[in-house]
Amino acid sequence: MAKHHVAATVNGDAVEFLCETEETLLDVLRDQLGLTGTKEGCSTGDCGACSVTVDGRLVCSCLMLGVEANGKAIGTIEGMAQGEELHPLQRKFLEHAALQCGVCTPGFLVASKALLEKNANPTETEVRYWLAGNLCRCTGYDKIVRAVLDAAAEMRGA
């Protein structure tokens, strides 16, 4: 069967690609568009390493087909910093040492950004439940949760 033609935006830039029916959005991002910041940890939607936003909504890109991205606005980790300026979440993750190996970090950052866009002032419990779909095996989550709370406070101007 012929490949599907898909047109979408990724981090604000228009992209076009051809993909097989069974290819996931994650496969397309990593293998076709060269955006390897989004990681594959399980391919079953359990680890959150492949978190991206689709029209502003947080999704696991391993659970969405490439063809489903047609006409959508995709946001990935590569679009988070503005020029040389890191997003406050990125800065706070570094200041709080909220990463060790760093492979889950892009997913956590994308998920945390989606949280703060919905809820600018989350409690610790709200942060923990929102991020329960993102696995980290290195940190025990302590410094991640602190970094998110600190970034939220800074972004509120608190």
Partner 1 sequence: MQEKVKDAPGSEFTWVGTRPVRPDGVDKVTGRARFGADMAMQGQLVGKVLRSPHPHARIRAIDTSAAEKLPGVKAVVTREDFQDQPSEFIPAGEMMINYRDVVRNVMAREKALYEGHAVAAVAATSAAIAKQALKLIKVDYEVLPHVIDVVEAMQPGAPLLHEDMITAGVEPAPKTPSNVAKRIEFGAGDVEAGFKQADVIVERAFTTKPVHQGYIEPHACVASVSEDGQADVWVTTQGHWIVRAHCARLLGWDVGKIRVTSSEIGGGFGGKTVVYLEPLALALAKKSRRPVKMVMTREEVFRASGPTSGAHVRVKIGARKDGRIVAAEAELKYQAGAFAGSPVQPGAMCAYAPYDLENVKVVGYDVVTNRPKVAAYRAPGGPISEFAVESALDELAGKLGMDPIEFRLKNAAKQGTKAAYGPKFGPIGLVETLEAAKSHAHWRTPLGKNQGRGLACGFWFNIGGETSVSLSLNEDGTLSLTAGTPDIGGLRASLCMMAAEELSIPMDKIRVQIGDTGQLGYNFLTGGSRATFSSGMATVEAAREVMKEACKRAAKLWELPEDAVEYKDGAVRPAGPNAGKHAPMSLKEIAGIAGKTGGPIAGYARINAHGAAPSFATHIADVEVDPETGKVTVVRYTAIQDAGRAIHPSYVEGQYQGGVAQGIGWALNEEYIYGADGKLQNPGFLDYRVPVASDLPMIDTVIVEVPNPRHPYGVRGVGETPICPPMAALANAVAAATGVRFTDLPMSPPKVLKALDEARAKGTARL
Where on the chain is the footprint of partner 1 (CB under 8 A)? 20, 22, 30-31, 35-44, 46-47, 49, 76-78, 80-81, 86, 90, 93-97, 99-106, 109, 124-125, 127-129, 131-146
Question: 71 or 117: whose CB is closer to partner 1?
Answer: 117
Residue 137 burial (C-beta neighbours within 10 Å; 0-12, 13-18, 19+): exposed
Question: 71 or 110: whose CB is closer to partner 1?
Answer: 110
Question: 81 or 120: whose CB is closer to partner 1?
Answer: 81
- In the three-class reduction of DSSP (H, G, I as helix; E, B as strand; rest coil), residue 57 is classed as strand
In the complex, the smallest distance separating the C-beta of residue 73 from partner 1, rounded to whole angstroms, is 18
Question: 18 or 71: whose CB is closer to partner 1?
Answer: 18
In the complex, the smallest distance separating the C-beta of residue 48 from partner 1, rounded to whole angstroms, is 9
In the complex, the smallest distance separating the C-beta of residue 146 from partner 1, rounded to whole angstroms, is 8
CA 40 to chain centre: 12
Strand order in the sheet with 51-54: 13-19, 4-10, 73-75, 51-54, 57-60
> Are 47 and 38 within 8 A, CB to CB?
no
* Angle at 133 (CA atoms; ends 43, 52), nearest 5 degrees: 65
